[in-house]
């Protein structure tokens, strides 16, 4: 009755507007011997079965959902995966709009029944799970330095969860299952990727990020110094290098799009989107008196420039009062939330 290591014993999906995220567990049942039981868990000396294995994370582009289906088909789900006892069909927890959009496809191709879970419920459940169960999950990113934050379980709530996917959701979290989606913006990861693709003709998101690393936004953005003849607007506390108008410099020259380096356009765009989200997040936190802001979503991708810009925006607007924190499993909050729902 032991499952092979490559078989999936539990799978959960989060199929978003841009990416389909998978979280799956591959494991074996292991019978602990008496001495192992005594040294690991107090179980009165009886032998005990535990599940040992690994949680895996992967993603596919939603527009290539067939690749996701083929991947699951190759992996195969073990005989222990939850099933609908009425029809023996495998039941898979799924969230995101794609859980609705692709329900028929999963039924047709894999004979799965997608058990739909609410997207916001899952985001919050995933974030709460990570913040409580995973060591070294949350970190700050200041001046290029990553610093893990020790989460005090008794002092976790309330916090603001900002999920930067294709669009952005801002959720005030007050406890397990206690939350409200208090704000959001359509200027999100989809905007960066979509506009970036048009402006640079990049074929992949990674390529766009790579370009942005090498760019200089000052060629594209209008800075305070451009307006003030190279000096600061010190009365308002604005340094000469502060961005006065994202992309604003492009109107004052005869250059056309082709005359700009794609690296500079990508960098300016990344800065514009990240700055805006950082500022909105802070204003939302201020509105509800929240000090801690956790950022998730696949837009971040552990990118130093993105995290730095968001951190600086939160720090600047809050005058150091609020702090931006990031999550190691940033892109998988929804999928993890659906996964932990197997325990419900």
Which stretches of the chain bind ligand ADP, using CB under 6 A? 16-19, 61, 96, 165-166, 189-190, 192-193, 205, 297-299, 301, 331
Is residue 221 within 8 Å of residue 268, measured between CB atoms? yes
CB 88 within 8 A of CB 79: no
State the nearest-atom distance from the C-beta of 216 to ligand ADP, in Å: 22
Checking phi first, is residue 88 left (phi over 0); if not, alpha (psi -120 to 50) or beta?
left
CA angle 173, 101, 130 (to 5 degrees): 30
Which residues lie across from 48 on neighbouring strands? Answer: 32
Identity of the residue, 22 or 223, whose beta carbon is nearer to ligand ADP in the bound complex: 22
Residue whose beta carbon is closest to ligand ADP: 16
DSSP per residue, 294-316 = EEESTTTTT-HHHHHHHHHHHHH
Q: Which two tokens stand for residue 43?
A: 């179980």
Beta bridge partners, 175, equal 178
- CA count, 13 A, side-chain hemisphere, 92: 32
CA distance 187 to 274: 10
What are the E-state strand segments in 256-332?
292-296, 323-327
Nearer to ligand ADP, 16 or 126 (CB): 16
Nearest distance from C-beta of residue 61 to ligand ADP, angstroms: 6
**How far apart are CB 297 and ligand ADP at their closest, in Å?**
4
Give the CB-side neighbour count of residue 55, counting CA atoms within 13 A. Answer: 11
- Closest CB to ligand ADP among 106 and 332? 332
Minimum CB distance to ligand ADP, residue 165 (Å): 2
- DSSP E strands in 165-312: the ranges are 168-175, 178-185, 222-223, 243-245, 292-296
Q: How far is the CB of 127 from ligand ADP (least distance, A)?
A: 13
Query: From the CB of residue 51, how many other CB atoms can be counted at a distance below 10 Å?
Result: 13
Closer to ligand ADP by Cβ: residue 168 or 243: 168
Which CB atom, from 97 or from 248, has the smaller least distance to ligand ADP?
97
CB of 83 to ligand ADP, least distance (A): 27
Give the residue with the Cβ less far from ligand ADP, 61 or 111.
Answer: 61
Min dist CB 331 to ligand ADP, Å, is: 5
Taking alpha carbons only, the member of 118, 264, 277, 282 closest to residue 189 is 277
Instruction: State the nearest-atom distance from the C-beta of 281 to ligand ADP, in Å.
Output: 16
């Amino acid at each position: 009755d032991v499952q092979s290591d490559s078989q999936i014993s539990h799978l959960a999906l989060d199929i978003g507007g841009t990416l389909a995220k998978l979280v799956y567990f591959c494991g074996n049942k292991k019978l602990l011997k008496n001495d192992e039981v005594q040294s690991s868990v107090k179980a009165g000396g009886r032998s005990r079965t535990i599940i040992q294995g690994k949680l895996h994370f992967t993603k596919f582009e939603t527009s290539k959902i067939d690749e996701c289906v083929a991947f699951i088909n190759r992996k195969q789900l073990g005989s222990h995966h939850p099933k609908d006892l009425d029809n023996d069909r495998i039941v898979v927890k799924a969230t995101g709009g794609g859980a609705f959009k692709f329900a028929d496809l999963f039924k047709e191709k894999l004979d799965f029944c997608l058990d739909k879970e609410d997207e916001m419920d899952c985001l919050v459940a995933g974030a709460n799970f990570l913040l409580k169960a995973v060591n070294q999950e949350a970190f700050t990113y200041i001046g290029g330095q990553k610093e893990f934050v020790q989460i005090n379980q008794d002092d976790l709530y309330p916090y603001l969860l900002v999920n930067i996917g294709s669009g952005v959701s801002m959720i005030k979290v007050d406890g397990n299952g206690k939350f409200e989606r208090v704000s959001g913006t359509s200027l999100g990861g989809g905007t960066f990727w979509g506009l970036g693709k048009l402006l640079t003709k990049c074929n992949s998101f990674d390529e766009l990020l790579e370009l942005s690393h090498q760019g200089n936004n000052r060629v594209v953005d209008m800075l305070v110094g451009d307006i003030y003849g190279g000096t600061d607007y010190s009365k308002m506390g604005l340094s000469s290098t502060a961005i006065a108008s994202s992309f604003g410099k492009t109107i004052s020259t005869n250059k056309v799009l082709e005359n700009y380096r794609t690296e500079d356009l990508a960098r300016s765009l990344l800065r514009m989107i990240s700055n805006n989200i950082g500022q909105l997040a802070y204003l939302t936190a201020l509105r509800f008196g929240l000090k801690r802001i956790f950022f998730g979503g696949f837009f971040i991708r552990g990118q130093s420039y993105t995290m730095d810009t968001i951190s600086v925006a939160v720090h600047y607007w809050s005058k150091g009062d609020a702090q931006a924190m990031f999550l190691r499993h940033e892109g998988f909050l929804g999928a993890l939330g659906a996964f932990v729902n197997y325990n419900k």
